[in-house]
Structure formats: structure tokens, C-alpha cells
Amino acid sequence: MPGSSPVFAQVMNALHPQEFARCVEYFPPPRRPRGLSAYDHFLALCFAQLTGRESLRDLVICLKARSARAYQAGFRTRLTRTNLAYANAHRNWRVLAAVAQVLMRRAAKLYAAGPADNDLPHLSYALDSSLIDLGLALFPWANWQHTAAAVKLHALLSLRGPVPAWAAVTEAQLPDSHLLDQIPLQPGAFYVMDRGYLDFRALARLHAAGTFFVVRSKRHVRVRVAASRAVDKNLGLRCDQTVRLATGWSQRRFAGPLRRIRLYDPVHACSLVLLTNHFELPASTVTELYRRRWQVELFFKWIKQHLRLRAFLGRSENAVRLQVWAAVCAYLLVAITKKEMGLPQSLHQMLQVISVSAFEPIPLLELFGPNLTPATDTNQLLLLP
């Protein structure tokens, strides 16, 4: 349709430039940028994620080849490999982290209005982390275990969306449990975690804040059983107990009672032990919450497979962090666009179409119209169907 803005600009409309400017004000640069504005730098990083660009040369050639359409897509300043490389090395990555938080809040409001899952609490989140591998020869600052290099992406994923409600990028060797002191807490919400987050001091903080947790226990945790409840063994449940921690070290960190649920996993032929501070939910609902934790694993798998987190546009720590946050922002921008326009296609389908139509002046509703079949392959990830 003549007069329409390019597809890339329509996707980027989920974030107003003034909102980006406010994020820049929180982390002002030491001097005024010359040549490449902060907003154009952000646009370039998102363009690389949405269109599959894997190098600075690749990115610059594509944008210069369609300079008129690039202007219509929002680029206003001169873009070269030199100023892009300088921006990746020196522009504060915390600006994009703040932008991601703005987009997370917007996505959370959109997906909270969707149909509720009556089987789960209204507010429930899954917390986990994933390593993003780097080459040790090119990224020696990310040395991990002396033989590999990596950074770690942490995400708190809403089980209702699912969209991330909080994220962080840290060094690979940082223990997951240390992030429990940083996640935002909502009274009455459930936080579902794997055994890497079993830190009774941090869990006591969650309990004191009026939140609930479901965490997988470890073998060495010793408890004293105070009471037992009947369970339906046909559902895989083996016990539902009220317990207290048995060792003095753990009692000093979490003095209150806990609920201990054991279930048998027939797929992996093993038993799982869950600990929670909520005593009212049925045991089957608690185990279902832990099963839904897998959605955060699918989120990590999706962004690693479909966004650019294998080839990096810079070798410095700042450049890597910028690119990881740009990937999170790109994911959120597409998820917001999908929800606002009520598109039935999967995120993967949308990303593929956007990548080959970024500069086309076609309204998104027309681009993703009835001629594009919604995803029906049951083997695809079910994240944001």
C-alpha cells in the first residue's frame, strides 16, 4: 500500500523514540555522540537481529543499499562500520537493558489481558539461566572453567504469557542463587525454580516479602517430618509432607516450616522432590507449576536458534552485552506487535517474514493476512503460539 512505513519501522513502533531518550538520560554518555546517534545505534542492533545480519560489514552494506528506505525506517544519522564498532565498544549497555525493561512492562500488560489458566495461580513466574557460548580466543575476558568462554543470560518468565518480566546478563561463573536478591518481587506471586536456586537465606527473603516459591530440592537437604497428607499415586505423587530443616546451618537461614512434595517422573525414571512455602494449593497444582517451568527453557532455546547470539558484532564485553540485550528487545518487539495486532502466526513465522520484508512499505495486517497460514506444526516450540 503506497504511503505505508516500512515493515521494520512498524515493528519498532512498539517503542517510542522519546521512551528511548528517557532511558539514555539514566545513563548519559561522557560526551555528546557525533556521527551515529544512540537511537540509530539501537535501530541498527535490532535490524541485525530481525534480519539475520552476522557482521558489521553485512549490516552496513544492507542499510546503504536501501538508503532511502532506511531513512523511512527511522535511520537519521550516518552509519559506517567505524562508528558502529566504536558505539559497540563505548555506548553503555545499560541503556538497552533499561529499554528491555520498558518493553517487558508493556508486554506484561498486553499478555495479562489474555485468557487465564484456571489450573495455575494468576501470578506465576519461572526463573532460570542459560549460557551463551563465546570463543575463548576472541573473548578472553569471558574465560570460564579455563577452557571455554561464555556469558550467562538470566530470565524471569511469566507463565501466563509467556514473556520475560525481568532479565539480566552476568559473567558465566556467577551462581544462579545470587540472582534471587535482584529479581522483582510481587506479594502473592509464585516463583518456580530449579535446584540451582536452592539458597535458604534468599528463599527466606522471598518468604518474608509475602511471595511463594517452588524449588527443586537437592539430595543433601535433611528435614524432619512434622505432618503427612494423603496423595493420589495415580498422578505420580509419592508424598506430601510438612517438614522443618534438620541441620542448624539451614535452620538459621530458614526457620519456618516447608512443604515437601515427592513425585515420580516416568519419562526420566527418577523421583523429584519439591519444596514450597505454600500449603493450600493441591499437590498436583504444585507439580504442574514446576512442569510449566520448562517454558523458560523454551524461551532460551528460541532466542538462541532464531536470533543472532552466535556471531557477534564486537569482541569487547560491552559489545557482547549490547547484542544480547538487543536480542531480548527484538524478541519483545515482535511479541508486542503480535499481541497488539492479534496476529495468529507464531513468532517464528513472523520473524521469517519480517526478515525478508523489512524495507517493504506494506501494512503488517496485510503482510500477515489470510494468505499466510498460521503455524500448525506440532513439532515447533509452543512458546507464544
Per-residue pLDDT tens over the stretch 159-172: 887 799 999 999 99
Q: What is the pLDDT of residue 133?
A: 94
- Model pLDDT, residue 78: 86
- Answer with the residue of higher pLDDT: 49 or 78: 49
Q: Is the pLDDT reported for residue 231 higher than 60?
A: yes
CA dist 83 and 78 (Å) reads 9
Instruction: Give me the chain's average pLDDT, please.
Output: 90
pLDDT at residue number 268:
77
- Digit-coded pLDDT (tens) for 124-161: 999 999 999 999 999 999 998 888 999 999 999 998 87
Q: Determine the pLDDT at residue 373.
A: 58
Q: What is the DSSP string of 221-247?
A: --EEEEEEE---GGGTEEEEEEEEE-S
Question: What gap in Å lies between CA 44 and CA 373, rounded to an integer?
Answer: 30
Residue 54 CB contacts under 8 Å (≥ 6 apart), including other chains: 48, 308, 311
Q: Kindly tell me if the per-residue pLDDT of 378 is higher than 80.
A: no
Residues 6+ positions from 249 with CB-CB distance below 8 Å? none
Helix extents (H) in the chain = 7-12, 17-26, 38-51, 56-65, 67-72, 81-90, 94-112, 200-208, 248-253, 283-292, 294-306, 317-341, 347-357, 364-367
pLDDT surpassing 80 at residue 3: no
Mean pLDDT of 98-103: 97
The fraction of the chain above a pLDDT of 70, given in percent, is 94
In the chain, % helix, strand, coil (3-state, to 5) comes to 45, 20, 40
**Tens digit of pLDDT for each residue in 259-318?**
999 998 888 788 899 999 999 999 999 999 999 999 999 999 999 999 999 999 999 999
Q: Is it the case that residue 346 has pLDDT exceeding 50? A: yes
For position 382, what pLDDT does the model report? 45
The pairing of strands 223-229 and 237-245 is: antiparallel
pLDDT of residue 377: 44
pLDDT per residue as tens digits for the range 22-69: 999 999 887 777 788 999 999 999 999 999 998 999 999 999 998 899
What local confidence, expressed as pLDDT, does residue 348 receive?
A: 92
- Over range 185-194, report the average pLDDT: 95
What pLDDT band is residue 115 in, cutting at 50, 70 and 90? low
Backbone angles phi, psi at 27, to 5 degrees: -130, 70
> Could you tell me how far CA 251 lies from the centroid of its own chain?
33
For the chain, the residue count is 385
Q: For position 116, what pLDDT does the model report?
A: 64
What local confidence, expressed as pLDDT, does residue 162 receive?
77
Work out the average pLDDT over 195-214: 95
Angle at 66 between CA 63 and CA 68, to 5 degrees: 110
Question: How high is the pLDDT of residue 28?
Answer: 86
User: What's the pLDDT at 360?
Assistant: 93
